[in-house]
């Protein structure tokens, strides 16, 4: 895989030893309008039950989100996002053995979540919407995911502009005091990219290694798969599996998935081939 050492990122009681294997980020949507059709709304008990199942299936970290990232979704207020996520975050932090990530671009939501026990921040706007998120991560000593988001922009060359976006986010994080080993990058598949742009990013994913940080890849159930295969959300498992396997082969260190159990198996098989890891 990598010709250099990405080091170790500590996340609560978990150590991500990059390069040894692919880590699984399971998705827990608390939105009523999730793009993937699996939003749990305000049902705390249903969220807890699903979280426990995802952990049993092999999730290494749970990504909890309270606002939809669909292109046509409307932003929600901080208070509404807190109302959706905090009851679940507090219960999960107390009852589960895996670390939690908060999927938010709002620093106040991140701050409250970290105070409740969350151990990673996943910012789909790459610090463009609220740079204070970096300060929250720095003060708490938790990792932050910088996502390249091309929404509200017009790009000409997808890979150079994704790289530039990630470098800007990384600089903001470092300037705020985030430790180098606590930065993770994500090319942002589906965030303002065309189908052709998404496919090119997948082919050229390994170029992100030049940034020197681990790569998180989130392709699960996304429109890229639906457009290529002409399939609805509930029939994109095989397409998602193909992107996970090829993503790992091209440099992904962590994959963000909805269907944990099958993607754990895909990742383990791919790791055996790519990393020579048999377990």
> Does residue 7 form part of some domain?
no
Q: How far apart are CA 96 and CA 241, in angstroms?
A: 27
Mean pLDDT of the chain, nearest integer? 93
For residues 161, 149, 138, 81, the Cα torsion angle rounded to the nearest 10 degrees is: 170
Residue 68 in any domain: the answer is: yes
Over residues 186-245, the pLDDT tens digits come to 999 999 999 999 999 999 999 999 999 999 999 999 999 999 999 999 999 999 999 999
User: Exposed, middle or buried by CB within 10 Å (0-12, 13-18, 19+), for 278?
Assistant: exposed
Q: What is the largest CA-CA distance in the chain?
A: 47
pLDDT score for 86: 96
> How many domains does the structure of the chain reveal?
1
Question: What's residue 11's pLDDT?
Answer: 96
Q: What is the pLDDT of residues 3-35, one digit of tens each?
A: 458 999 999 999 999 999 999 999 999 987 544
Cβ atoms 64, 100 nearer than 8 A: yes
Cα dist from 144 to 5, 16, 53, 173, whole Å: 19, 13, 25, 8
Q: Which residue in the list 128, 209, 236, 256 is annotated as catalytic?
A: 256
| CB 100 within 8 Å of CB 92 | yes
**What is the average pLDDT across 47-63?**
96
Among candidate residues 112, 128, 222, 236, the one labeled active-site is 222
End-to-end CA distance of the chain: 18
**Is residue 279, in this structure, part of any structural domain at all?**
no
**Residue at 1 is within a domain:** no
Main-chain dihedrals φ then ψ at residue 271, nearest 5 degrees: -60, -40
Reported as a pLDDT band with limits 50, 70 and 90, residue 36 is very low
Is residue 194 one of the residues assigned to a domain?
A: yes
Instruction: Please state, in angstroms and rounded to a whole number, the distance separating the CA atoms of residues 225 and 236.
Output: 7
| Half-sphere exposure of residue 173: CA atoms within 13 angstroms, side-chain side | 30
Position 199 in a domain: yes
Is 256 assigned a catalytic role?
Answer: yes
| Structure confidence at residue 1 as a pLDDT band (50, 70, 90) | very low
* Rounded CA separation 110/101 (Å): 9
Q: Rounded to an integer, what distance in angstroms lies between the CA atom of residue 113 and that of residue 85? A: 8
**Does the annotation count 222 as an active-site position?**
yes
Identify the CATH number of the domain in which residue 110 sits: 3.20.20.20
The CA-CA-CA angle for residues 197, 198, 201, to 5°, reads 85
Q: What is the residue range of 210's domain?
A: 21-273
Say how far apart CA 123 and CA 107 lie, in whole Å. 10
Residue 4 lies in a domain: no
**182 falls within a domain:** yes
Cβ proximity of 120 and 92 under 8 Å: no
Residue 279: its pLDDT value, please?
A: 72
Nearest to 243 by CA among 202, 204, 191, 209: 202
SS3 160: helix
Eight-state DSSP code of residue 62 = E
- pLDDT for residue 185: 98
């Amino acid at each position: 895989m990598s010709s250099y050492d990405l080091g170790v990122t500590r996340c609560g009681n978990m150590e991500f030893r990059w390069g040894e294997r692919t880590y699984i980020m399971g998705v827990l949507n608390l939105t009523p309008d999730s793009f993937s059709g699996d939003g749990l709304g305000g049902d705390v008990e249903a969220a807890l039950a699903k979280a426990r199942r995802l952990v049993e299936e092999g999730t290494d970290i749970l990504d909890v989100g309270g606002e939809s990232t669909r292109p046509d979704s409307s932003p929600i207020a901080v208070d509404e996002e807190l109302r959706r996520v905090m009851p679940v975050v507090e219960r999960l932090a107390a009852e589960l053995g895996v670390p939690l990530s908060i999927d938010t671009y709002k620093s106040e939501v991140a701050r409250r979540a970290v105070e409740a026990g969350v151990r990673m921040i996943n910012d789909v706007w790459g610090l463009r919407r609220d740079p204070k998120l970096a300060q929250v991560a720095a003060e708490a000593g938790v990792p932050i995911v910088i996502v390249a988001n091309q929404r509200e922009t017009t790009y000409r060359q997808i890979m150079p502009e994704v790289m530039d976006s990630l470098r800007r986010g990384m600089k903001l994080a470092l300037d705020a005091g985030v430790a180098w080993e606590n930065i993770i990058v994500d090319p942002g598949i589906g965030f303002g990219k065309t189908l052709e742009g998404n496919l090119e990013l997948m082919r050229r994913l390994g170029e992100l290694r030049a940034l020197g940080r681990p790569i998180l890849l989130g392709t699960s159930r996304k429109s890229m798969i639906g457009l290529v295969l002409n399939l609805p959300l509930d029939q994109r498992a095989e397409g998602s599996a193909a992107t996970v396997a090829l993503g790992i082969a091209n440099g992904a260190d962590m994959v963000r998935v909805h269907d944990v159990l099958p993607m754990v198996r895909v990742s383990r098989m791919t790791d055996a081939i790519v990393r020579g890891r048999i377990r």
